[in-house]
Chains A and B, each alone.
Chain A
Amino acid sequence: MSSEPSLEGLREEALAALASASNEAGLEQWRITFFGRQDGRLTALLRSIKDRPADERASFGANANTLKQELEAALEAKQQDLKAAALKALSTESAIDVTLPGRPQAIGRLHPVTQTMRDCLKAFGDMGFRVAEGPEVEWDRYNFDGVRIPEDHPARDMWDTIWVNTLIDGKRHMLLRTHTSPNQVRVLERTAAPPVRVVVPGKCYRQEATDATHEWMLTQIEGLAVDEGVRMSDLKGVLYEWSRQMFGADRKIIFHHSYFPFVEPGVEMAIDCFICRGDGRECHTCHGTGWIEILGAGMVHPEIIETAGYDSSKVTGFAFGIGVERVALLRWGIEDIRNFYANDVRFLSQF
Chain B
Amino acid sequence: MKLSLNWLREFVDVDLPVPELARRLIDATAEVESWETIGAQWDPERIRVAEVLAVEPHPNADRLRLVTVEAGHGRQQVVCGAPNVAAGQKIAFATEGAELIDGHTGERAKLKLRPIRGVESAGMVLSEKELGLSENHEGILGLRPEAPIGRPLVEELGDIVFDISTWANRADLLGVLGFARETAAITGKVMREPERTHGTSARNVEDAVSVTIEDPDLCLRFTASLIENVTIGPSPQWMQERLQKAGMRPINNVVDITNYVMLETGQPLHAFDYDLVRGNRIVARRAKPGEKLTTLDGVEREFDGEMLLICDGEGPVGIAGIMGGGNSEVSATTKNVLLEIANFRPGSIRRTSTYLKLRTEASLRFEKGLGMEMPEFAQHRALHLFEQLTGGTVASGLVDVYPGKEPRKTVIVEASRIEQVLGIAVPTEDVRRILTDLGFVCHFVPPGRYSVQPPDWRPDIEIADDVIEDIGRIYGYDKLPTTMLRGVLPAPEVDPVRDLRERMRDLAAALGFQETISYTLSDLARLKRMVPEDDTLRSNPLAVVNPVAAQHAYLRTSLRPSVLETYASNRRHVDGALRLFEVGFEYLPVEADLPHERTVLCAVLGGGRETRWAQAGGERLDFFDAKGAVESFLNGIGVRAAYAPRAEFGFLEGHTAEVRVGKERVGLLGQVHPDHAAMFDIDEPVFLLELWVEDLVRHLPERPEYSAPSKFPEVRQDIALLVDAAVPAGRVLEIARSHRSGTIRISADLFDEYRGKGVPEGKKSLALRLRFQATDRTLTDADVAKGQQGLVIRLSKELGAELRGS
A residues neighboring B (CB under 8 Å): 101-111, 113-114, 127-128, 130-133, 135-139, 150-155, 157-158, 162-166, 168, 172, 174, 176, 191, 194-198, 203, 205, 207-210, 216-217, 225, 227-234, 236-238, 240-241, 254-259, 261, 264-268, 289, 299, 301-302, 316, 340-341, 343-346, 348-349
Contact = CB atoms under 8 A, between A and B. Distances in A.
B500 interface: no
Contact of B612 (A104, A130, A174): A104
A264 B421 CA distance: 9
A256 B463 contact: no
Contact of A137 (B364, B472, B514, B542): B542
Given A127-B484, A225-B485, A231-B420, 10 more contacts: A109-B514, A137-B594, A164-B543, A198-B490, A208-B548, A236-B482, A259-B167, A265-B421, A289-B23, A299-B465
Given A227-B487, A232-B423, A176 B27 contact: no
B480 A127 contact: no
B212 interface: no
A340 B579 CA distance: 18
A345 B514 contact: yes
B509 to A, nearest CB: 4
B570 A229 contact: no
Instruction: Count chain B CB atoms within 10 A of each CB in A172, A266, A299 and give the residue with the most.
Output: A299
B360 interface: no
Given A154-B168, A163-B545, A348-B515, A232 B487 contact: no
Given A232-B422, A237-B484, A104 B610 contact: yes
A227 B515 CA distance: 38
Contacts of A157: 168
Nearest to B506: A110
A31 B508 CA distance: 58
B578 to A, nearest CB: 7
Contacts of B473: 256-257, 265
B515 A230 contact: no
Given A108-B514, A225-B485, A265-B472, A155 B544 contact: no
A109 B512 CA distance: 8
A164 B490 contact: no
Contacts of A232: 421-423, 472, 477, 480
A237 B483 contact: yes
A153 B167 CA distance: 12
B487 A229 contact: yes
B449 to A, nearest CB: 14
B469 A266 contact: yes
Contacts of B493: 130-132, 198
A341 B517 contact: yes
Contacts of B587: 136-137
B531 interface: no
Nearest to A101: B612
A113 B505 CA distance: 13
Contact of B480 (A176, A228, A255): A255
Given A110-B509, A111-B516, A176-B544, A154 B346 contact: yes
B508 A133 contact: no
B669 to A, nearest CB: 17
Interface in B10-32: 23, 26-31
Interface string B508-523: 1111111111111100
A133 B497 CA distance: 11
B505 A106 contact: no
Contacts, number: 264
Interface stretch (B226-234, B347-355, B695-703, B750-758): B347-355
A237 B482 contact: yes
B793 interface: no
Contact of B469 (A231, A233, A265): A265
A169 to B, nearest CB: 10
Interface of B: 23, 26-31, 167-170, 346-348, 350-351, 354, 364, 367-368, 419-424, 463, 465-466, 468-469, 472-473, 477-478, 480-493, 495, 498, 505-506, 508-521, 542-548, 552, 555, 566, 569-570, 573-574, 577-581, 585, 587, 592, 594-595, 597, 610-612, 614
Nearest to B584: A203
A103 B477 CA distance: 57
B227 to A, nearest CB: 32
A29 B539 CA distance: 81
A253 B573 CA distance: 42
Contacts of A302: 463, 465
B545 A233 contact: no
A163 B481 contact: no
Contacts of A195: 487-490
A150 B367 CA distance: 13
Given A231-B422, A233-B483, A257 B594 contact: no
Contact of B545 (A155, A172, A257, A268): A172
A108 B509 contact: yes
A238 B168 contact: no
Contacts of A107: 509, 512
A56 B350 CA distance: 131
A264 B469 contact: yes
5 contacts: A108-B513, A152-B351, A255-B477, A261-B168, A265-B421
Nearest to B478: A254
A205 B778 CA distance: 65
Contact of A345 (B168, B545, B570): B570
B548 A210 contact: yes
B490 A191 contact: yes
A205 B548 CA distance: 10
Contacts of A229: 420, 486-487
A154 to B, nearest CB: 4
Nearest to B554: A165
A153 B351 CA distance: 9
A125 to B, nearest CB: 10
Given A136-B585, A229-B487, A114 B477 contact: no
Contact of B465 (A151, A257, A264): A264
B597 to A, nearest CB: 6
Contact of A197 (B489, B495, B511, B520): B489
B515 to A, nearest CB: 4
